[in-house]
């Protein structure tokens, strides 16, 4: 396995690499990331994993400075998975002009759901992913469904900008108690970690109700938010949306996703469940 730090060196490697599947990450890898790598291995002869903590997608007061940088440990995990290349550029390599002068601007979806609480986040995601796609030139790229809105933005970006990359959604990795795997789980105290699976349980309760024919989405959302609030959570949103484009769901829609973001102590957790009817 090679660890490459410069765009030039990666492009030189790419010339003779054959098929490539790509997994973009911010490092501090857990089992959920490794599941993306395993899916990528099914798609191409070589897997490239990027490790880059992208300042553009962090808002004011968010955890950019304290986000864990664990390149040595991450590289050991990726080598065990048979990854061909770890691309780990520094900030100056990826953003040589300090400020990114040209950005990729997603549609209004970027201002809804998580975007409502993290202004500019999805612009930062779309911009860095476009840069990485241009550098790596993969045949396929794997993204986790846990970040469902991010996945929707990336799918739209690839479609609208005619980027010839197969976007592969990968199911959310979960701990044995249902908590979605996330690098931010390590910020939870022992007591908060025991409480954290409640978010997934509330989403499952909504999903079960919808499958049973209860289409009063607003009531279901409000009830779940109230229960989380009573348990000490601060809820950003719980919403039922159409799975294909994340527009507001209506009776008669068959493919749905229930999305949530809520804070437990100082840690913001996100999760979702897909529901397919009929």
173 is in an annotated binding site: yes
In angstroms, rounded to a whole number, what is the distance separating the alpha carbons of residues 112 and 247?
10
Annotated binding residue 1: no
> Of the listed 33, 121, 250, 276, which one is catalytic?
33
Question: Is 145 known as a binding-site position?
Answer: yes
Q: Are 166 and 154 in contact (CB under 8 A)?
A: no
222 marked ligand binding residue: no
- Residue 265 labeled ligand binder: no
Is 33 a residue of the active site? yes
Looking up tokens 């492009």, which residue turns up? Answer: 11
Residue with tokens 């940088």: 69
Is 27 marked as binding a ligand? yes
Per the annotation, does 124 bind a ligand? no
Helix (H) or strand (E) holding 8: helix 7-14
CA-CA distance, 201 to 207, in Å (whole number)? 10
Q: Is 8 annotated as a binding residue?
A: no
Query: 42 labelled as ligand-binding?
Result: no
Q: Which of 108, 125, 105 is nearest to 116 (CA)?
A: 108
29 is in an annotated binding site: yes
Residues 6+ apart with CB under 8 A from 111: 119
Any binding-site annotation on 32?
yes
Any binding-site annotation on 115?
Answer: no
Which phi and psi (to 5°) does residue 62 adopt? Answer: -85, -175
Residues 6 or more apart in contact with residue 22 via CB below 8 angstroms: 40, 47, 48, 49, 50, 132, 133, 136, 138, 140, 141, 142, 165
Q: Is 54 annotated to bind ligand? A: no
Can you spell out the DSSP letters for 73-96?
Answer: HHHHHHHHTT-SEEE---HHHH-T
Q: Which residues are annotated as a binding site for (R)-pantoate?
A: 57, 150
Q: Which residues are annotated as a binding site for ATP?
A: 26-33, 144-147, 173, 181-184
Q: Which residues are annotated as a binding site?
A: 26-33, 57, 144-147, 150, 173, 181-184
Q: Which residues are annotated as a binding site for beta-alanine?
A: 57
The residues assigned a catalytic role are 33
């Amino acid at each position: 396995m090679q660890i490459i730090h410069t765009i030039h060196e990666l492009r030189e490697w790419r010339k003779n690499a054959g098929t490539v599947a790509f997994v973009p990450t911010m490092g501090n890898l857990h089992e959920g990331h490794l599941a993306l790598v395993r899916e990528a291995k099914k798609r191409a002869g070589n897997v490239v994993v990027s490790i880059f903590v992208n300042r553009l997608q962090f808002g004011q007061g968010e955890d950019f400075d304290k986000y864990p940088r664990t390149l040595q440990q991450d590289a050991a995990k990726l080598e065990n998975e048979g990854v061909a290349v770890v691309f780990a550029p520094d900030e100056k390599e990826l953003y040589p002009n300090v400020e990114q002068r040209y950005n990729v601007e997603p549609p209004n979806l970027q201002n809804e759901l998580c975007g409502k609480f993290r202004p500019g986040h999805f612009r930062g995601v779309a911009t860095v992913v476009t840069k990485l796609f241009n550098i790596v030139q993969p045949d396929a790229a794997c993204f986790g469904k846990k970040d469902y809105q991010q996945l929707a933005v990336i799918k739209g970006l690839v479609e609208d900008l005619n980027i010839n990359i197969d976007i592969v959604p990968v199911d959310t990795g979960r701990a044995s108690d249902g908590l979605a795997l996330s690098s931010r789980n390590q910020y939870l105290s022992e007591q908060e970690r025991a409480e954290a699976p409640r978010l997934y349980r509330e989403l499952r309760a909504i999903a079960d109700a919808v499958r049973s024919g209860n289409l009063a989405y607003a009531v279901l959302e409000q009830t779940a938010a109230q229960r989380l609030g009573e348990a000490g959570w601060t809820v950003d949103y719980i919403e039922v949306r159409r799975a294909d484009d994340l527009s507001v769901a209506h009776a008669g829609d068959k493919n749905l996703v229930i999305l949530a973001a809520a804070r437990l102590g100082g840690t913001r957790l996100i999760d979702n469940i897909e529901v397919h009817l009929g």
